[in-house]
Structure 1
Amino acid sequence: MKSILVLFHCASNTGYAIATLEKVFFEMARALVGGDEARIHFGYPSMARGPSPAMPDDFRQYLVLDTRSKDPDHRRQVHDYLRRHEIDTIFGFDQPVSMPMYRHLRRAGIERFVSYWGAPMSSVFGPIKRSLKRLEVALRRHGPDHYIFESYGMAETAIRGRGIPRRKVSVVHLGVDTEVFRPDPADADYPFRELGICRSRKIFFFSGHMEPRKGVRTIMRAARILAERRRQADWHMLLLGNAPGEERRLLAELGGNKKAREHVTFGGYRHDLARIHRGCYAGIIASTGWDSLTMSSIEMQSSGLPLLLSNLPGLNEAIEDGVSGLLFPPGDALALANTIERLLDDPALRERLAQGARQRVESRFTKEIQHHRLVELMRRLT
């Protein structure tokens, strides 16, 4: 490898999830080039927002590269940049099988092209459509040589849906900083104090986007069920990630139940998740549409939270059912409510799952393990 280009499909300075990966990919690239940062380049379709704060302050090797572009001037500029810097390897994020620019990247000297995916690549198809997809992939000669996914469930969508040959697919799980996301009894009171939650309640925590596939409505319906049938006022739902006013349509799922409303807090965007985790009783991810192994699922477990998790392919790889968390059927609010009550009524189970959650992350999902596996895989591929 002479030089490497880390290529994103989205504009620079996009936000938290991408920033986390930018750090991971930069450290991977740095290891691959023996620490020579002059041989590392980052590319985005747009740099209008400026460099990401996740990148080193003195890093300057940025390339505006839009793989969708058919503009001759843009192609020429990209070609000249790749040649001038002797870039022969691309590590792309969410780069698909085919894009207009790929042919020109190869002509500019790209010998190895690896695409890392943070989402499922396709739906799963039957044998006939799958065969057609495989043929299409085989005919696209300029695209990625290999695909890396964050979960086995995601990898299967590529193989059984998009038609990617199994030999061209690998899995590297996400990793978390276990020193940042860790249990700490000193912060046990933190979310109660910061968000005004009654200290006698046990907090069930969700953090993420509020789009329908994330299953926030399922959490609201479970809250309504608990309010209607549970005598003890010993639970509370804390949900973070909502934009101002976004929670109104979700609170409608409570059906006007005042008791349920008193047990639900939407806290918006926050940057103190690690401290909030430490005062929570368990985490919830109730996704109903496509999802995969999420960073939040790893962060919560690293903080010592048992995870109540929709049993979706890819996402369910985050836990070992009954050891570090509990699975429930996607979209089943009654099953979620039952699972919540099971934890409320069995503190010993909660403690056992909490210990299992932390141990699972330490053995499988640390940032050090992720870095090692990425670097070793890329060395084999390049």
Structure 2
Amino acid sequence: KRIAAIARERRISIVHTHNSRAHSFGVLLKLLHGLPVVATAHQRHIQLHWSLNDYVIANSDVTLWSMRRFNFVSKSRIRRIYCPIRDRFFNGAPPAEVSATRTAWGFAPTDRVLGCVGNVSPRKSQLNLIRALPSVLREFPNVRLVMVGDDHGEYAKTCRQAVEELQLQGAVRWLGHQDDIPLVMSCLDVCVCTPTEEAFGLTAAEALASGVPVVAALVGGLREVVIDEETGLLVPPRDPRALSTAITRLLNDGALRERLAREGRQRVRRLFSAADHAAQLLDVYQTVVSGKRQASQGR
């Protein structure tokens, strides 16, 4: 009641929610107080509230299909709007800052840096990359891997144990949570995305915007961000051998790295711009608000 009163007092025309708890709360605001609600689907979970929203925004085509197929969202009340990529990723970090950061990580100027960005979890499947690393190191002993993201919990312990068992301590750095992801991306030679499920693929898009070539798992929305052999390399999930082959192929072929990074950056700039995202959001808001007005006038 308090939030509904604040919305009326401030003449808020629409509520936009972005996570599961907020989605449920938004639907209650709509059902109990008549506030129009838009919800963005960042995952492909089966949940009852989706069909009760006035409008649903899917962050990829595969998410849109899932929302319609399993959550019964009607075609007229859902649209795919890709996540926006901040301009700073396109600008990149100054070379001096990149050099200083890589040195702070303990790397030599000649080291080749792989990066895996995302909280350490079974869905992100960092263990798959760790198991692929020995094959990469046999061909490129100067390869180093940075793990970026919260690394607590049992799965993180399993990953650290695998690093020790495979004697990779000298090649792997656990950086934990990092606030400056644009800087992290600028420090990488290759970004590796290994999830078993991904609704969109924000990390891959941010890497491509930064001019960093990507090797990614052939799952979910990643197939919309990374076009195999055009803007990156896609490999089957849970396949360390295929992953190591793709990584070594990129490290062996500078021309391929440059082409994939260039084409990937152009695609991200074309499809995932903040300005386009804002314009599409505004169109959804106007559609919902005008529909509510027409409905109230027809009563």
Fold match by TM threshold 0.5: yes
Bigger relative contact order (CA 8 A; separation at least 6):
2
Q: How many residues are matched? A: 287
Matching residue within 145, 167, 177 for 2:86: 177
Structure 1: stretches of 5+ with no match in the other structure: 1-74, 124-132
Matching residue within 37, 54, 66 for 1:113: 37
TM-score, length-normalised on structure 2?
0.85
Mapped to 2, the partners of 1:82 and 1:349 lie a distance apart of 53
Structure 2: stretches of 5+ with no match in the other structure: 290-299
Mapped to 2, the partners of 1:323 and 1:250 lie a distance apart of 31
Q: CA deviation at 1:319?
A: 1.5
Distance 1:101 1:225, change over 3 A: closer
Q: Does 1:166 align with 2:89?
A: no
| 1:144 corresponds to | 53
Question: More helix per residue: 1 or 2?
Answer: 2
Q: CA deviation at 1:271?
A: 2.2
Identical-residue share of aligned pairs (%): 21
Mapped to 2, the partners of 1:248 and 1:95 lie a distance apart of 28
Distance 1:237 1:91, change over 3 A: same
Q: Contact 1:175–1:298 (CA<8 Å) still a contact in 2?
A: no
Distance 1:108 1:122, change over 3 A: closer
Q: Deviations over 1:37-67 (max 9, x none)?
A: xxxxxxxxxxxxxxxxxxxxxxxxxxxxxxx
| 1:300 corresponds to | 207
| 2:15 corresponds to | 90
Q: Deviations over 1:104-137 (max 9, x none)?
A: 6445342x322112221329xxxxxxxxx8xx98
Q: CA deviation at 1:232?
A: 3.3
Give the secondary-structure state (helix, strand or coil) at the position aligned to 1:276: helix
Alignment RMSD? 2.8
Give the secondary-structure state (helix, strand or coil) at the position aligned to 2:259: helix
Distance 1:155 1:245, change over 3 A: closer
Mapped to 2, the partners of 1:357 and 1:266 lie a distance apart of 27
| 1:208 corresponds to | 118
Give the secondary-structure state (helix, strand or coil) at the position aligned to 2:165: coil
Q: Does 1:337 align with 2:244?
A: yes
Distance 1:101 1:359, change over 3 A: closer
Q: CA deviation at 1:99?
A: 4.8
TM-score, length-normalised on structure 1?
0.68
Counterpart amino acid of residue 117 in structure 1? A
Counterpart amino acid of residue 116 in structure 1? T
Distance 1:105 1:374, change over 3 A: closer
Mapped to 1, the partners of 2:4 and 2:260 lie a distance apart of 53
Indicate the structure (1 or 2) with the bigger Cα radius of gyration.
1
1:259-338 alignment runs, 5 A limit: 260-288=168-196, 290-338=197-245
Mapped to 1, the partners of 2:23 and 2:88 lie a distance apart of 40
Q: Deviations over 1:260-283 (max 9, x none)?
A: 332211111222322232231111
Give the secondary-structure state (helix, strand or coil) at the position aligned to 2:204: helix
Q: Contact 1:191–1:280 (CA<8 Å) still a contact in 2?
A: no
Q: CA deviation at 1:79?
A: 4.4
Q: CA deviation at 1:160?
A: 1.3
| 1:3 corresponds to | none
| 1:241 corresponds to | 149
Q: CA deviation at 1:85?
A: 3.7
Counterpart amino acid of residue 38 in structure 2? V
Mapped to 1, the partners of 2:13 and 2:105 lie a distance apart of 51
Counterpart amino acid of residue 165 in structure 1? S
Q: CA deviation at 1:341?
A: 0.6
Give the secondary-structure state (helix, strand or coil) at the position aligned to 1:327: strand
Mapped to 2, the partners of 1:98 and 1:296 lie a distance apart of 24
Q: Contact 1:79–1:105 (CA<8 Å) still a contact in 2?
A: no
Give the secondary-structure state (helix, strand or coil) at the position aligned to 1:262: coil
